[in-house]
Structure 1
Amino acid sequence: MKVYLRSIAKQLNNFSLSLDKTSILIDKPWALIDEEFEMQKLIFKKNRELILSKNGKVQEGKWDYFPEAKSLLIDRNTDKILCNEAFVDKGIMILKLDGTENRFFILANENIVPDLDANRYLKELRYQKLKIKEAELIDGRIIEVQRENEYSDPQLGNPVTVEAENIEDGKYQLAKKEKYYEIRKGRIFKILTEVQYTNPDGKEIFIQQQDSWRIKNGDYVYMNGRPVETAILNFTKSKNMVVRHGKVVRLERKNPFTRWISKAWKQMWDYYNE
């Protein structure tokens, strides 16, 4: 939960309001939810008085705001806590205990979040602001793809997270089994479609392709459920496939003369693909 809140605050930083406008805070029914999920209701009064209610018992405290530090002081009589703004919204505030890295409090506005389900509210807010689209992995996990706009499909370079957390580098198979995302440094590096081929020997070759319509350098090659490390494969009647370290290097003509012609043509025009 601690890391989750830190990640959300960082991701939504550009959309955060500020308590400089104390109208966000004053005379609203806020519920403070601490690390142990204990709940206390607070009403911040304009005269800096604070009304606190926990389990039906009401106390009076005080509060103050320090704009130069973007810090909120909450005097609950039993203790005083100084919290720094991490994320501020009309419905939810994430506050970080001053001097700590991972101690957070959530304040939820009961008028806007009547069920006080802060996690649901924050998730919906993230999805809206970051234009997130979910994709289910074959292992049941859900990855979150941040897109340029809500209508676009996932594209190369889009950031990817799992429950707001960074995802490790690797290749991930989607629940739609023939689709894969390769992730590097938290972003989509390749979008792959697995295509099945049968060579002249009757052997099945599976290629995870960056372009579903044609084979490109860097596509991944599999046979018998395993990556093909380094080999020259009999691919079609006229072409071999050169594979190195599990990836396509090139398709080349079997006939030496036509292979030489193809190479010369490619060098001349720099576009010909065997």
Structure 2
Amino acid sequence: MKLYLKSIAKQLNNFSLSLDKTSILIDKPWALIDEELEMQKLIFKKNKELILSKNGKVQVGKWDYFPEAKSLLIDRNSDKILCNEAFIDKGVMILKLDGTENRFFTLANENIVPDLDAYRYLKELRSQKLKIKEAELIDGRIIEIQRENEYSEPELGNPVTVEAETIEDGKYQLTKKENYYEIRKGRIFKILTEKKYTNSDGKEIYIQQQDNWKIKNGDYVYILGNPVETSIINFSNSKNLVVREGKVVRLERKNPFTRWLSKFWKQTWGYYYE
């Protein structure tokens, strides 16, 4: 949860308000969830008094805000804590304990988040602000794809996370089994669709393609579930598939003249003549 809050605060930084406008804070029913997951209700008064209620017992403390440091001092009588702004919203605030990296306090505004489920509120807010589209992986995890707008489909370069955390580099299979995303440095590097081909020998060749309509350099090649090593594969009566370390190098014609024509076409138009 601590890492989740840290990631959320960083990703939503551009959408954060500031407690410079103390109207966000004052006379609102805030609920603080502490590290023991116990709830304490707080009302910040304009005169810098702080009304605290926990398990029905009420105390009066103090508070102050230091705009030069973007820090909120909370005097709860039992202790004083100095918290820095991490993410500020009218519904939920994330405050980081001063001098620490991963100690956070979450406050929920009961008027806006009646069930005080700050996690749900932040998840929905992040999804809305970052135009997130979710996709389920075959292992059950849900990946979060940040798009340019809410109407666009996932595309190359989109950031990808799981529970707001950057996903490791690799190739990930979706529950729609023929679809894959290859992720590098936390972004979509390739969008792949697996196609099955049967050559003239009756051998089944599976190619994870970047383009639904044609085979391209860099596509992944599998036979019997295993990546194909560097080789030239009989692909059809007229074509060979050249593979290096499991990836397509080119699809070439077996006839010397048409092979030359295919290479010329590639150099001229950017794809192989078929």
- What TM-score results when the alignment is normalised by the length of structure 2? 0.98
Residues 225-244 of structure 1, C-alpha deviations (whole Å, 9 max, x = no match): 10001110000110000000
Which residue of structure 1 aligns with residue 272 of structure 2?
A: 273
Task: Output aligned runs, 1:83-102, within 5 Å.
Answer: 83-102=83-102
Letter of the structure 1 residue corresponding to residue 58 of structure 2? V
Which residue of structure 1 aligns with residue 169 of structure 2?
A: 169
Contact 2:265 2:272 in 1 (8 A): no
Helix, strand or coil for the counterpart of 1:86? strand
Residues 188-246 of structure 1, C-alpha deviations (whole Å, 9 max, x = no match): 00000000000000000000000011100000000001000111000011000000010
Deviation at 1:270, TM superposition (A): 4.0
Which residue of structure 2 aligns with residue 55 of structure 1?
A: 55
Alignment partners' CA distance in 2, 1:127 and 1:272: 38
Helix, strand or coil for the counterpart of 1:68? coil
Alignment partners' CA distance in 2, 1:77 and 1:167: 42
Query: CA, structure 1 residues 230+42, in 2 after alignment: closer, same or farther (shift >3 Å)?
Result: same
Alignment partners' CA distance in 2, 1:36 and 1:239: 66
Deviation at 1:264, TM superposition (A): 3.7
Which residue of structure 1 aligns with residue 70 of structure 2?
A: 70
Letter of the structure 2 residue corresponding to residue 141 of structure 1? R
Which residue of structure 2 aligns with residue 112 of structure 1?
A: 112
Is there any run of 5+ residues in structure 2 with no aligned partner, and where? none
Which residue of structure 2 aligns with residue 35 of structure 1?
A: 35
Helix, strand or coil for the counterpart of 1:124? helix
Deviation at 1:265, TM superposition (A): 4.4
**Do residues 23 (structure 1) and 13 (structure 2) align?**
no
Letter of the structure 2 residue corresponding to residue 196 of structure 1? K
Residues 155-192 of structure 1, C-alpha deviations (whole Å, 9 max, x = no match): 10000000101100000000010000000000000000
Which residue of structure 2 aligns with residue 229 of structure 1?
A: 229
Residues 85-140 of structure 1, C-alpha deviations (whole Å, 9 max, x = no match): 00000000000000000000001000000100010000000000000000000011
Contact 2:61 2:75 in 1 (8 A): yes
Deviation at 1:263, TM superposition (A): 2.6
Which residue of structure 2 aligns with residue 203 of structure 1?
A: 203
Off by >3 Å, runs of 4+ in structure 1: 264-267
Deviation at 1:272, TM superposition (A): 4.8
Query: CA, structure 1 residues 220+188, in 2 after alignment: closer, same or farther (shift >3 Å)?
Result: same
Which residue of structure 1 aligns with residue 216 of structure 2?
A: 216
Helix, strand or coil for the counterpart of 1:102? coil
**Do residues 256 (structure 1) and 256 (structure 2) align?**
yes
Which residue of structure 2 aligns with residue 132 of structure 1?
A: 132
Letter of the structure 1 residue corresponding to residue 180 of structure 2? Y
Farther-moved stretch of structure 1 (46-55 vs 32-41):
32-41
Contact 2:263 2:272 in 1 (8 A): no
**Do residues 144 (structure 1) and 147 (structure 2) align?**
no
Which residue of structure 1 aligns with residue 7 of structure 2?
A: 7
Alignment partners' CA distance in 1, 2:271 and 2:73: 68
Alignment partners' CA distance in 2, 1:271 and 1:152: 27
Alignment partners' CA distance in 2, 1:261 and 1:228: 26
Percent of aligned positions that are identical: 86
Deviation at 1:66, TM superposition (A): 0.1
Is there any run of 5+ residues in structure 1 with no aligned partner, and where? none
Alignment partners' CA distance in 1, 2:185 and 2:16: 25
Residues 15-54 of structure 1, C-alpha deviations (whole Å, 9 max, x = no match): 0000000000000000011122111000000000000000
Kindly report the root-mean-square deviation, in angstroms, between the aligned alpha carbons of the 2 structures.
0.9
Letter of the structure 1 residue corresponding to residue 23 of structure 2? S
Alignment partners' CA distance in 2, 1:253 and 1:40: 73
Alignment partners' CA distance in 2, 1:237 and 1:182: 32
Letter of the structure 1 residue corresponding to residue 138 of structure 2? I
Helix, strand or coil for the counterpart of 1:202? coil
Deviation at 1:256, TM superposition (A): 1.8
Helix, strand or coil for the counterpart of 1:78? coil
Helix, strand or coil for the counterpart of 1:17? coil
